[in-house]
Structure 1
């Protein structure tokens, strides 16, 4: 399968922050002992803000709020660009759905998993079954085992439904260059990778066979391979590792993982002609799924109910705006950027979009896209043009807190002046800026149509809440055009990434899309806790004068290495940063060294397997400083190679790229091997269409079953064997690795999709080079083997030998004891 065998995992639910200001331990474990079901899903200010903030009418709010207080269904997605994943979907529908449907609980039939109608082709499913039912009935345990196995194989992604929406609105085509700015832990990146990959597998097969193939729908000019590239980025070192774990299972050579602050993501240099101006990579598509307060995750994150505060959104507005600015700078003219959050707060959503468009020069430069034609089955609400902003005021020391709803910046300023006279000890949030408020009426051609944004609420299709806005860059953005009336510190040429850690690191979200574990805690954006606000909110609609505007000094192409530290107020001290963030001076250095196209070892490998000359020889890399073929050899796409080689010495933090293609095979007698390199399961499907030697055809299910349940079955050069058609083909083959191909076929003994496995021919045995967990997953998928026993002939033989040696030693020890006893007795008699 194209899919790999190590599942990534969306760790927790997303939306909170990693670290923050204040003296508390922001990464402390959740130590409460009461069950989640006993924790009340109530928060007066949380409810009051969304009830009275002009978001929806009272009737719809009641439906939404009732849904918010209920548990979120579990959901998963079949990876729709792979034929084997679609076949797995059919196995799921035919094998598991009927068994679950037959279950009854308390006299009522249990609702089985259902396809989510908002997504096409039955690729997205959810399930509302209560945990009590799942624990009680065996069909659910079998279904759970199936989900875990297929997630590890890359055919299924465990992901929240609303989290799957933003990539669809990017409208990615194969051949496009895409950036995921805040990617960890990677479920959206996996979707984007699948879109860039498209259906290249069938096209590559045709290209390798010199058969014409359809080139419509994307750029497949690289012999059927997609020419696109996905760069998945995250600012946090450990989260970038999670991201690698998630995307590696896709075995995607057109992928790079980086670790940078998204707000000052470095420019990526491309080759330029001598004497010409330096060229930098621009992106066709960018996803900015930014850090947010995460109040849309309340159905799976109980901390939202306990700790929600209006300062969450106010504290994040500037960071979100800076990330959006940088994304728009790196976008091609005519390119598309999707901005998304899992928050319902317009301060983090519509206010950020309006501020960005204004700062870039208005609708003539950046335009909101109408997307009603994409995902037409998705029930959504339009973006808001009017809203209220919630803030709290308090006396010094945090006493006597009051909540306030403001309809405009003028009303806030008037109220602040009023309290300054009547109650001078009372203070408001310093994060309140003009940019968080709705815009005043403007001429139609200048008005920003925020209604083109999309809001997904929990009650519409039983999901979490999400905000999505699709932006198209109509013209280049000049420095002089980036002006704003908002207090935003945008990155400048003097910004140095490796100085004091930026707010983007301190406020990095902690909760992710997966709902397996919801016990993580989130921290505040301000010094003080908002847990004990006891006063009712007031609405302040007075007016006052607008303050003078400020100019944002932003450079379209920030450097990778800066010279001086930015002293803006958005910086925080290193001691308040999370301890798991690794400074670049201490971070692990990753090496990516490409091999020359005429490397003799690669030439020998290609000759051994009969690889077509058209398959590129110059895209193989090793991951050591000296560029030596020590253990593993990786394969990447052409554009990936260009980006890595041009920027690896410019300070860019590359974390991962490449698919493992070959692994060194160590044996005691290397002289017996013509090619001491074995094909790796991760990359074999990329190379298989181009190979003409060492091809073994497996046509029987029984043969495949035997090779899966037995490791190292015997196979001599001559004589009988029990490996059927595979054994017949292998007997005349010299030792080394080979491709074992399985083609899709009909009938009871047929296979649901094409497969290819690395098969090693030893002098006296063979072995399918697939680990135990992957063997079990394949046995469950193809043969419904729930608890297979994998027999390892070599391990069994070694264990038997060790046991015999142990028994021999025991026998020798007993004989020695007897001899000593006889000798001792003889000595005793002699002495008497």
Structure 2
């Protein structure tokens, strides 16, 4: 989402007018999904040759080849192999969630069924296996396919496997993600008690990977002490993040919406008198691990996103360099001493990679070390980082900052070069004796700052509002190389004196495509050895003081919108948003879901105070306005009467602590719709955030555990159990619980509503009819020795149901129900129902009576066709 100009009224009016559909009934219209090979369906950028056939994206860009050949990112003898691999479609990859309930079943299915059946489809002479585990990923949890995403969609022989991938991905058992995108979290060395910050998290595949790690480190059914804070600057991209992480069903996650370079610091010593400090509670929000996967030009993803060939130019990396440094420095400031930060990009450009790492080391001095992790993940093929490179600006190659034209010195900073030093450097020096760039920035006069910001904006945006003006760039690149007269220097690279960095940048890791048939990636692992000194703190404190810029302002598009006027958005962000999306979405993280679906199903920020009547909604919105405009506050739920009613109705054991762990987004107790459960680590952060004035803009958190449900027949408890929270709560429930045979359990999932006399096990039907009206839990008793121990078994399979007057109704989303039905059928040797059989409802003999779901307002999870049941982003409201 770019931050450029708005369309005027006349343009909007003109845009709404009807236009002739030139494709309608056109005999030369290309066939659906047709032609053009693997990238032909993308449909933008390239026209039709002779009006006869649809052409694929071009995989040629002379400027791209010239740039990286000059940078010598691979030896000359490997250049042809490197370029040849970049032009091939990217093989698909996915990762298994080892903490999911059916982990063993999925592994068995892959090894025994799909691996054998797909062998006949192997067509690449370089690949021996159609599907194989990635040798460098621990536990054989990540798998590589010898098929691109397009082949999976189009090949009829792969249809069943493609359906398997889509279904398991939607329910969270696997995550479809580019292989090299899985690498950065592995080098964080996450431990069970770590607090982790994912600074630029959307769309969320790496965040999901981090959650897998912390939950895998503990016993099933036990909450880990670790916690993940996932942040993203873009409100709409937070939808993707929430959608992705919701599949994990975790109480150990907080999703925030801040500029990463201005992520707020929550310190009690700055906001509270010492007399109020409690030494037993956290005093400052710091993290043991930080994942800094920054916005980048994304040219390492050209195999997956071939449109990048057309869009790429050298100015993209130059324009993002400062922002990347700022984000990385903020990450270091938030890191605990002894903690580890991973800096990564999906770019091959040294200006975005080694130059940023070098600048971090210069600013931090002895406080930060670039780690040598060559002994970690030994089977991962990686190459050392570069120690020398050049900068290209407006058609000229630059070896040192002295070569930069005077009027460009504010756009091309010294930190982009290997030495990091300028020719006329009057900047202040930090405690380590190295240059402190941010102090220099502060000393610049306002005119220089404006000029620098404008140059940065142009470098990123070109003249096309978030997209580079390719024609202009190509024109510049194709010129003779002469630069303006005041320089009288040639752009011939052979005459350039290049610098060499004396920093240990060889410890960085470069992953190149032709080494292991993957995308390209850059990773650097940094460790904080000591607290930053006073001079180093000057720059990182900008994140503390400039937090006011991150505060929500008056909406410009619609009431409650979190958008801010373009003039309020920092210059860096205006230029980067387009690049952020292009880089990160192409980063292998968008396989799991489509952007359109996420936007349709879960438009933006958490807001559960939705009413049918607009007047009531507006009134309550005013009442519930927290510090952040458009975002409901996080409220600890302490309604003793409601909690007592829930505990009594479900017989929840005292060993499951509810006090202090329940939160909601509505301060009005009578209108609370959903209650969320948070872990102890999240609870501590929430309490700290309240004490420092709610500096964190929290869009989503916790695990939905209870949801209000009214019934026309009445129920002793007004809150039902949530499917997401059931696995956590199941071992502690002693009432409203039933144990079904495999056949009756299968029928419940298949037909969704069954009358009590229609169960195969008559005793089960009698027990169901004897329950109190309202929510109940049905547990599959098959495969367990004793019924008394089933509920405490972490592997127990259970579903939430509603007990009405005459029937039992399943309250599980159709998608989850379908997946669970197939798993149960396969595990216990039952016949897997066909799709037509699933839609069939049990009929009531001799009567037109409708099956009673027991709910006055039918729950979304009860509706077979409900999209809300598939998505349900913990209460969302729409934004333009």
The structure-2 alpha-carbon separation of the partners of 1:650 and 1:633, relative to structure 1 and needing over 3 Å to count, comes to: closer
Say whether 1:634 aligns with 2:614: no
Instruction: Tell me the equivalent position of 1:575.
Output: none
1:714 maps to which of 744, 755, 761: 755
Instruction: Tell me the equivalent position of 1:198.
Output: 216
Instruction: Tell me the equivalent position of 1:476.
Output: 531
Instruction: Tell me the equivalent position of 1:284.
Output: 288
- Within a 5 Å distance, the mapping from 1:228-377 to structure 2 comes to 228-269=226-267, 274-276=275-277, 279-360=283-364, 362=365, 364-377=366-379
In 1, are the aligned partners of 2:89 and 2:148 still within 8 Å (CA)? no
SS in 1 for 2:510: strand
Say whether 1:789 aligns with 2:841: no
Instruction: Tell me the equivalent position of 1:404.
Output: 396
Paired with 1:614 and 1:32, the residues of 2 have a C-alpha distance of 61
The structure-2 alpha-carbon separation of the partners of 1:228 and 1:595, relative to structure 1 and needing over 3 Å to count, comes to: same
The structure-2 alpha-carbon separation of the partners of 1:312 and 1:85, relative to structure 1 and needing over 3 Å to count, comes to: same
1:496 maps to which of 529, 544, 548: 548
Paired with 1:408 and 1:384, the residues of 2 have a C-alpha distance of 16
Paired with 1:703 and 1:311, the residues of 2 have a C-alpha distance of 63
Paired with 1:111 and 1:334, the residues of 2 have a C-alpha distance of 42
Instruction: Tell me the equivalent position of 1:686.
Output: 728
In 2, are the aligned partners of 1:297 and 1:342 still within 8 Å (CA)? yes
Say whether 1:611 aligns with 2:649: no
Paired with 1:44 and 1:73, the residues of 2 have a C-alpha distance of 25
In 1, are the aligned partners of 2:264 and 2:543 still within 8 Å (CA)? no
Q: Which has the larger radius of gyration?
A: 1
The structure-2 alpha-carbon separation of the partners of 1:797 and 1:242, relative to structure 1 and needing over 3 Å to count, comes to: farther
C-alpha deviation, 1:629, in angstroms: 5.7
The structure-2 alpha-carbon separation of the partners of 1:794 and 1:631, relative to structure 1 and needing over 3 Å to count, comes to: farther
Instruction: Tell me the equivalent position of 1:213.
Output: none
Cα-to-partner distance string for 1:728-770 (whole Å, 9 max, x where unaligned) = 64354333333323368499xx999532211332232112321
Paired with 2:590 and 2:47, the residues of 1 have a C-alpha distance of 19
Instruction: Tell me the equivalent position of 1:650.
Output: 694
In 2, are the aligned partners of 1:261 and 1:504 still within 8 Å (CA)? no
Cα-to-partner distance string for 1:224-248 (whole Å, 9 max, x where unaligned) = 5312211100011111122111111
Instruction: Tell me the equivalent position of 1:449.
Output: 504
2:392 maps to which of 390, 393, 400: 390
Instruction: Tell me the equivalent position of 2:85.
Output: 67
Say whether 1:438 aligns with 2:418: yes
- Within a 5 Å distance, the mapping from 1:536-551 to structure 2 comes to none
Paired with 1:79 and 1:723, the residues of 2 have a C-alpha distance of 35
Say whether 1:80 aligns with 2:95: no
The structure-2 alpha-carbon separation of the partners of 1:474 and 1:48, relative to structure 1 and needing over 3 Å to count, comes to: same
In 2, are the aligned partners of 1:711 and 1:791 still within 8 Å (CA)? no
The structure-2 alpha-carbon separation of the partners of 1:306 and 1:725, relative to structure 1 and needing over 3 Å to count, comes to: farther
C-alpha deviation, 1:103, in angstroms: 4.8
2:643 maps to which of 576, 599, 602: 602
In 1, are the aligned partners of 2:391 and 2:399 still within 8 Å (CA)? yes
Pairs aligned (count): 667
Instruction: Tell me the equivalent position of 1:735.
Output: 773
Q: State the TM-score, normalized to the length of structure 1.
A: 0.73
C-alpha deviation, 1:93, in angstroms: 2.8
The structure-2 alpha-carbon separation of the partners of 1:798 and 1:239, relative to structure 1 and needing over 3 Å to count, comes to: farther
C-alpha deviation, 1:138, in angstroms: 4.2
In the alignment, structure 1 segments of 5+ residues that lack a partner are 1-16, 205-223, 393-402, 418-426, 521-582, 804-832
Paired with 1:467 and 1:173, the residues of 2 have a C-alpha distance of 23
The structure-2 alpha-carbon separation of the partners of 1:786 and 1:431, relative to structure 1 and needing over 3 Å to count, comes to: farther
Q: State the TM-score, normalized to the length of structure 2.
A: 0.69
Cα-to-partner distance string for 1:701-720 (whole Å, 9 max, x where unaligned) = 3222111111221115xxx8
The structure-2 alpha-carbon separation of the partners of 1:52 and 1:103, relative to structure 1 and needing over 3 Å to count, comes to: closer
More helix by share: 2
In 1, are the aligned partners of 2:776 and 2:802 still within 8 Å (CA)? yes
Paired with 1:287 and 1:108, the residues of 2 have a C-alpha distance of 34
Instruction: Tell me the equivalent position of 1:769.
Output: 811
1:42 maps to which of 34, 50, 60: 60
Paired with 2:232 and 2:648, the residues of 1 have a C-alpha distance of 40
The structure-2 alpha-carbon separation of the partners of 1:338 and 1:175, relative to structure 1 and needing over 3 Å to count, comes to: same
The structure-2 alpha-carbon separation of the partners of 1:101 and 1:787, relative to structure 1 and needing over 3 Å to count, comes to: farther
Instruction: Tell me the equivalent position of 2:473.
Output: none
Paired with 2:839 and 2:846, the residues of 1 have a C-alpha distance of 13
The structure-2 alpha-carbon separation of the partners of 1:495 and 1:781, relative to structure 1 and needing over 3 Å to count, comes to: closer
Paired with 2:125 and 2:295, the residues of 1 have a C-alpha distance of 45
Instruction: Tell me the equivalent position of 1:151.
Output: 169
Say whether 1:659 aligns with 2:663: no
In 2, are the aligned partners of 1:111 and 1:129 still within 8 Å (CA)? no
Say whether 1:226 aligns with 2:224: yes
The structure-2 alpha-carbon separation of the partners of 1:337 and 1:795, relative to structure 1 and needing over 3 Å to count, comes to: farther
CA RMSD of aligned residues (A): 4.0
Instruction: Tell me the equivalent position of 2:858.
Output: none
C-alpha deviation, 1:269, in angstroms: 4.2
SS in 2 for 1:280: coil
Paired with 2:124 and 2:378, the residues of 1 have a C-alpha distance of 38
In 2, are the aligned partners of 1:739 and 1:757 still within 8 Å (CA)? yes
The structure-2 alpha-carbon separation of the partners of 1:627 and 1:504, relative to structure 1 and needing over 3 Å to count, comes to: farther
Paired with 1:260 and 1:763, the residues of 2 have a C-alpha distance of 49
Paired with 1:731 and 1:53, the residues of 2 have a C-alpha distance of 74
Instruction: Tell me the equivalent position of 2:522.
Output: 467
Cα-to-partner distance string for 1:353-400 (whole Å, 9 max, x where unaligned) = 11111111x1x20001111232221100011111222222xxxxxxxx
C-alpha deviation, 1:120, in angstroms: 2.4
Paired with 2:326 and 2:7, the residues of 1 have a C-alpha distance of 26
C-alpha deviation, 1:483, in angstroms: 8.0
SS in 2 for 1:667: coil
Instruction: Tell me the equivalent position of 1:702.
Output: 743
Paired with 2:590 and 2:637, the residues of 1 have a C-alpha distance of 42
Cα-to-partner distance string for 1:536-576 (whole Å, 9 max, x where unaligned) = xxxxxxxxxxxxxxxxxxxxxxxxxxxxxxxxxxxxxxxxx
The structure-2 alpha-carbon separation of the partners of 1:280 and 1:176, relative to structure 1 and needing over 3 Å to count, comes to: same
Say whether 1:510 aligns with 2:581: yes
SS in 2 for 1:741: strand
Cα-to-partner distance string for 1:802-830 (whole Å, 9 max, x where unaligned) = 99xxxxxxxxxxxxxxxxxxxxxxxxxxx
In 1, are the aligned partners of 2:779 and 2:798 still within 8 Å (CA)? yes
The structure-2 alpha-carbon separation of the partners of 1:483 and 1:681, relative to structure 1 and needing over 3 Å to count, comes to: closer
